[in-house]
Structure formats: C-alpha cells, structure tokens
Structure 1
Amino acid sequence: MNTSSRLRATPLLAARLTTARLLATTAALTLALAACSDTDEEDTSSGDDDATPTETDETPDDTGDETPEDTQKATPSPPPTPVPGPLEPDEVDDIVTGLDAPWSIAFPPDGGDPLVSQRDEGTIVQVSEDGDVTEIGDVPGVEGTEEGGLLGIAFDPDAPENLYAYATMGAENRVVRTTFDGEEFGEFETVVDGISAHPFHNGGRLAFGPDGMLYVSTGDAGEGPRAQDPDTPEGAILRVTPEGDVPEDNPFDDSPVYSYGHRNVQGLAFDEEGRLWASEFGPDTVDELNLIEPGENYGWPEVDGIAGDERFVDPVYEWPVEEASPSGLAYFGETLFMASLRGERLWQIPVSDEDVAEPAQYIDDRGRLRDAVIAPDGTLWVLTNNTDGRGDPRDGDDRILRVTLEQSAPE
C-alpha cells in the first residue's frame, strides 16, 4: 500500500583499547541551523528516551530509575581537545512524512530504498526520496509496551538479502531474521532470544561490525544489578555471528556478552578504524558516550558518568540528561552524529584517535530525534520521534530529515 506522505571490531578483537581521555579546554563548535523550539516539561528522575508514560522520555520512579544511594554521582566532564575540519550540516530537507512511532532506518547494502521500523505497530515500511511510504509487512509476535515493540533493524552487508530485527515478544526481547527481496519478506526465524523485556530499558539497536559479526545493545530491563552480571544478557552489548552463535574470540567463554555494566544503550556506530562507539541513557544525572572495549565493565548501576573509579571504564563524554537522552548514533568523516530525544537536537561530536572534541548541536527545531544513519550518497538521514506518546506531534510527523553535510576548513 503506497501512502504519501542515521573496541575495535576488527578480527583482532583480542586487542584492547585504551580508555579514551578527555583533554584541554576548547571553544564550543555550536552553530544553530534553525530557531530553537520550546522544550516540553520533562521528568528529571531519569534520562531515558521514554520517560513517564504521559509526557517524558524517562523511566518512571517505580521502575528503579532513581539513582541508587550507593551509585557514585557523575562529575562534570572537562572539555576535550578540538579536532580540525568538522562536518557542518549545510541543508536540511523533509523527505518522508507520516510515519508512526518510527525507531530505526536500514539501507539495503545492495541498493534500493531503505526500510523503517515502526515500534508500536510492529510494522516495517519502505520509504523513498519522493516521500512514498509502502508497508512491507509486520514482524510476527511483536508486543509493544511503552519502550518495547519493534526496535532496531539492520541488513547483513555480507548477505544483503538478510534483514535482522530486535523486537519485544511477551516477556523477552528477541533478534529475528528474515529475507527481503525488495518487495516482501520471507519467513522469520529467531537468532537470539532470552533477553528480558520490560516496559522500560530494552536497548534495541543492531549493528554489523567490520568483522562480520552482529552487535546487539540491550537494557537492564529495569533491574540495574543485572547489568553487573556478565552471565546475563541484560545491560550489555552482545556480539554474535549472523546465525546467532557465540564467536570463539568473544571475551567471555560461551557467552554473547561483549561489554557489560550498561543501563540502556540505544546507539551503536563503528568508526573507520573499526572501533565501536555507544550512546547510553543515564538516570537523573548524565547521559554517556562510550568507546567500547571487549570484556570491560561500564559501571552501571555502581557508578554513573565519569566517576574515576578504576574498576570501571569511564565514558569519553557526558551530557546533562535534559540536553540528550541519546538514541541513534552514526559515524561519518571523523564525526559522530547522535540523535537526542529529550534534548530534541542532533549532536555532532568530532573524534580523532581516542579523543573527542567539544560537541556542537544542530536541528533543534524538529522535536525528538530517534535515529541517525548515513545514506549511501553520504547524506545523513535523521528520524524524528514525536508520535510515540512522549512528544508533541506537528503536522506531518513523524518524518525523515535529510541532512547534506559540508566539510569545514581545519581550524
């Protein structure tokens, strides 16, 4: 039916990364593309994408979202060293409108129009640059509740006909796989199961690494202590083969867990060096950008943000929750682009080696932003998320924004 309307994951995974350190002060690279929109009142008890069911992006207090008394509070992060030649958004166009609680964009590796998952309906639609939206089908068994439902989708670059989806199905989240011939889906099969589901903190992002493995982000399912147990899949980033098996070179024997101590990761992106970056929701203090090291513990719920505790890996950058609540993450041209829900803006984060520069903010007039993906033509596609029950829908929401990127001169 047509309707008008963004670690090191190389084969040498045994090599461990040095924890990224933030360096000296630099000026912010802030450049607003449009006038800021008024920010809705938010529940500051949490930094999650889906807050109180009525109005915010954060988990309600009764789901364990309050910072535990023994959790070390985050300290302000010092500004890092600038990176020359950041990418600056040059033009922003609406190319698709009329989406319903969209969550993830996936471009077929062998060409063709991308697919978009719709969380609450459990459907996947195909979209075109002309603004057409075609429903391809639903994922059987999806049960959407608050933050659960049909979440991340991803194609396998080495088997372009295979599409993967992360979905809430009753008491658990699963990763399922099907084939897509450009017009319809084949049968769905389960690749990974046994990930506890919850109304909040389900994770849900999928990404294939340059090593050909599938990386899966999960949430703590509302129970923070699970994230400190590397024997459970909750509060972790998982690494599996395309068939769902555990790779022999994973950091824990016979376990899909690649890193743990995460609260709710909803953004995964590999850079040109094969390193894995992750954006993560914090509670009522800060949200995080992490550089993922295999087998490492990122601290939740024992610590939140940059804590300086040698037991855990600190994030490379942190934001106040009202400025972030980060979801999708994309990498292009030595730059990370991070979609923010409660923050209602796109963050641009220049990276070099293991350092990041002071982030700049863009697209702060379109409401909540859920995903950011680099298209085959080098433009950035950004997914708004104002129709999921937490935002303030505008005419035409939800939509896909296409951002033309222009390389600025080195400073």
Structure 2
Amino acid sequence: MSAGTATVATGSNPAGVPDLTAGEDVARDIEVPWGLAFLPGGDALVAERNSGHILRVSPGRAPQQVYKVPGVAARGEGGLLGLAISPQYAENGYVYAYFTADTDNRIVRFRLDGEPEAIFGGIAKADSHDGGRIAFGPDNMLYVGTGDGGQGARAQDPASPNGKILRLTPEGGPAPGNPIPGSPVYSLGHRNVQGLAWDRAGRLFAAEFGQDAFDEINRIEPGRNYGWPLVEGMGGAGRGFIDPQLVWAPSDASPSGIAIAADTLYVAALRGERLWIAMLHDGVASDPMAQLEDYGRLRTVAAAPDGALWLTTSNTDGRGDIRSGDDRIIRFPAR
C-alpha cells in the first residue's frame, strides 16, 4: 500500500477539528445543494443545482431565496454549481456562480438585486465531468475547477479550458502571472476537479474524481501537469507528471468539496458517504481518517468565518438514499 493511500480509520478527532458530535441542521429539505459561500456577516449563500435558486442560510432562521440564476440547464451532473463571494463584497456586492447553460459551462457575476454578467464561458458541458468549484485565492484571483466533459484528451490540450484549474481576474480574464501569458490555465491534466482550498501558507490543494482506480488529493503548482488521462493515481512522477498526495478507491471517496482550517484538511465524499480528515504539515497531507458516516452522500464542506464547519448532503441528486430532511445543511461548531 502506498504511503499516500487513504485507509478507513476511525478514532478520536485530531486536535483542532470542530466538534463533530455536535452537528445541528441549519437547513433541511434543500434541493441538491452544491455551492456554498459565506457572506461577510457569516450567513451562507447556497446554490440549488437543479432549480438555479440561491438561498441565504443562517442558524435559527428559515432559508430565504435571494436570487435565481437565469439560463441554468440542469442535466446529469450539470446545473447551478459553485459559488464564490468577491473579496471586495462590502464595496462591490458581487457574487460569482459557475453553471451549466444550454451550450456550455460558464461563470457569471451579479449583485443580488441585479442581472448576471457573463465573465467566462466555453467550458464544454456534458452529463458528467462538469467540474464546477470556484473560489477566490489569497491573491484575490478567481480559481476554477473544471472537468474534461467526458473527453480525456481535453485535459492535455492547453488550448481547452476543460480538465484544468483556471486562474482568472475578477473580471474573467487570464490572471497576470499565469504560467502561459494570456492563458487562463493554471494547471492541467485533471479529470474532474470539484474541490479547491488553500492552507495558511497559501498553498493550493484540489480534490479530483478518479475513474475506476483512484480518487486524488493534489497539491497544485502553477504550470504543472497532473497526468489525466495518461495516469490515474500514483506513478506519473517518472514521466514528468505530479503524483497526488492522497489516493482512495472511488468506493471509499469520490471527493467533491474540500476545506482547510488550521492544519486540517476536510474532504466531503459522495460515493464514500463520509467525511475524510487529514493532517497538513509543511504542505503535505497525511494520516486520513474517516468520520461522519451516517449522513449519506456529502457534497460540500466549508470552514465558516467563526470557525464552524458546514456540510451539505447530496442524497437528492439521483444517486443517494434519501433520508428524512434531505437534503440538509449541517453546522458543526468550533471547539
């Protein structure tokens, strides 16, 4: 077994992990929640994949629909996917959304009282491998995880936005300092990226769905190639690719959202129906443990401004066993 291979292990929570025994439902009966991003005051915006609705969610209050993204074409894994809040939200009020339209996957930005503005498009859509996670990095640039749209060759094509992590300006252009000037591509060789998070040193980690053998957690370096479809899992380093830090069998993971708080990495697993928790030390993830195996499919995990951990289930997405109250948004308070 590789040193980077995760095993199903349980035990006491590592130091610094929120109290996973004290989960409370913040919202129930949500329709396929996907993206989740926090407003400056601590409330969350949550995207419903199929309806195109954006809900404002906070503890102790009923969810409130605050926006509907027009033009969402939900089919297969597509629909209204990732959300991100502008780092200058207090000044400009912008919310960003990644969604599947009739012809492509695209990114728009909008104010909650205004019309959407398309800032990036042309990401090939499909019934699967649509990617969809977006997040602002420590550099205030917008990072985008895309999928290969079911055609692995796109991941190795530097001219295609598919199978990539993109780095964009807030206006949607290629960010300055990208590996290839004038290109939005930050890294390539990805199958289906749905998790993005940075540690406190500013290092980027990403979660990637594997095919039949290995799901991955990768540390992302600009301009590097992560191997898909030529390599799945470990074994690409000798051929010029970057090996993942952690791998799982897809039945144990199928990782979607990830979050980092202090020196802990959290990975929401869909098919694996659990939360994976790994330690971070000097930019290396290790010692993963499985927790929270009673909620079903987990789509998104996010660290809130107050130190709490938020999770969304994904049991109403057509692939899960629906439990009472699904889908749910669950909050685990900081210790």
Q: TM-score, normalised by structure 1?
A: 0.77
CA pair 186-314 structure 1, distance change in 2 beyond 3 A: same
Alignment gaps of 5+ in structure 1: 1-21, 34-83, 407-411
Candidates 21, 28, 36, aligned match of 1:97: 28
The equivalent of 2:188 in structure 1 is 260
Candidates 255, 272, 287, aligned match of 2:200: 272
Alignment gaps of 5+ in structure 2: none
Candidates 72, 91, 94, aligned match of 1:162: 94
The equivalent of 2:65 in structure 1 is 135
Q: Using the alignment, how far apart are the partners of 2:297 and 2:254 within structure 1?
A: 10
Q: Using the alignment, how far apart are the partners of 1:347 and 1:253 within structure 2?
A: 37
The equivalent of 2:10 in structure 1 is 30
CA pair 350-95 structure 1, distance change in 2 beyond 3 A: same
Instruction: Give yes or no for contact 1:97–1:131 (8 Å, CA) kept in 2.
Output: no
- Answer 1 or 2: higher relative contact order, Cα 8 Å, separation at least 6: 1
Query: Secondary structure of the residue that 2:247 maps to in structure 1?
Result: strand
Instruction: Give yes or no for contact 2:78–2:99 (8 Å, CA) kept in 1.
Output: yes
Instruction: Give yes or no for contact 1:384–1:398 (8 Å, CA) kept in 2.
Output: yes
The equivalent of 1:18 in structure 2 is none
CA pair 93-313 structure 1, distance change in 2 beyond 3 A: same
Q: Percent identity?
A: 49
Q: 1:104-115 counterparts in 2 under 5 A? A: 104-108=35-39, 110-115=40-45
Candidates 303, 308, 326, aligned match of 1:374: 303
CA pair 252-94 structure 1, distance change in 2 beyond 3 A: same
Which letter does structure 2 place at the counterpart of 1:241? Answer: T
How far residue 86 of structure 1 moved from its aligned partner, in angstroms, is 5.2
Which letter does structure 1 place at the counterpart of 2:130? Answer: N
Q: Using the alignment, how far apart are the partners of 1:283 and 1:86 within structure 2?
A: 33
Number of aligned pairs?
A: 330
CA pair 131-397 structure 1, distance change in 2 beyond 3 A: farther
Which letter does structure 2 place at the counterpart of 1:356? Answer: A
Instruction: Give yes or no for contact 2:205–2:217 (8 Å, CA) kept in 1.
Output: yes
Q: 1:264-343 counterparts in 2 under 5 A? A: 264-310=192-238, 311-343=240-272
CA pair 32-341 structure 1, distance change in 2 beyond 3 A: farther
Q: Using the alignment, how far apart are the partners of 2:291 and 2:334 within structure 1?
A: 12
Query: Secondary structure of the residue that 1:359 maps to in structure 2?
Result: strand
Q: Using the alignment, how far apart are the partners of 1:273 and 1:266 within structure 2?
A: 21
**Cα deviation 1:1-26 (Å, max 9, x = unaligned):** xxxxxxxxxxxxxxxxxxxxx86999
**Cα deviation 1:269-317 (Å, max 9, x = unaligned):** 0110001100000001110000000000000000000114332000011
Q: Give RMSD over aligned pairs.
A: 2.0
CA pair 26-330 structure 1, distance change in 2 beyond 3 A: closer
Q: Does 1:226 align with 2:206?
A: no
Q: TM-score, normalised by structure 2?
A: 0.94
Candidates 99, 108, 121, aligned match of 1:176: 108
Instruction: Give yes or no for contact 1:32–1:362 (8 Å, CA) kept in 2.
Output: no
Instruction: Give yes or no for contact 1:91–1:405 (8 Å, CA) kept in 2.
Output: no
Candidates 45, 48, 67, aligned match of 1:118: 48
Q: Find the structure with the greater CA-based Rg.
A: 1
Q: Using the alignment, how far apart are the partners of 1:24 and 1:190 within structure 2?
A: 40
Instruction: Give yes or no for contact 2:81–2:97 (8 Å, CA) kept in 1.
Output: yes
The equivalent of 1:352 in structure 2 is 281
Query: Secondary structure of the residue that 2:287 maps to in structure 1?
Result: coil
Query: Secondary structure of the residue that 1:91 maps to in structure 2?
Result: coil
How far residue 170 of structure 1 moved from its aligned partner, in angstroms, is 1.2
Q: Using the alignment, how far apart are the partners of 2:174 and 2:150 within structure 1?
A: 26
Instruction: Give yes or no for contact 2:298–2:314 (8 Å, CA) kept in 1.
Output: yes
Q: Using the alignment, how far apart are the partners of 1:25 and 1:362 within structure 2?
A: 17
How far residue 131 of structure 1 moved from its aligned partner, in angstroms, is 4.5
CA pair 131-29 structure 1, distance change in 2 beyond 3 A: farther
CA pair 306-113 structure 1, distance change in 2 beyond 3 A: same
**Cα deviation 1:53-89 (Å, max 9, x = unaligned):** xxxxxxxxxxxxxxxxxxxxxxxxxxxxxxx845263
Query: Secondary structure of the residue that 2:333 maps to in structure 1?
Result: strand
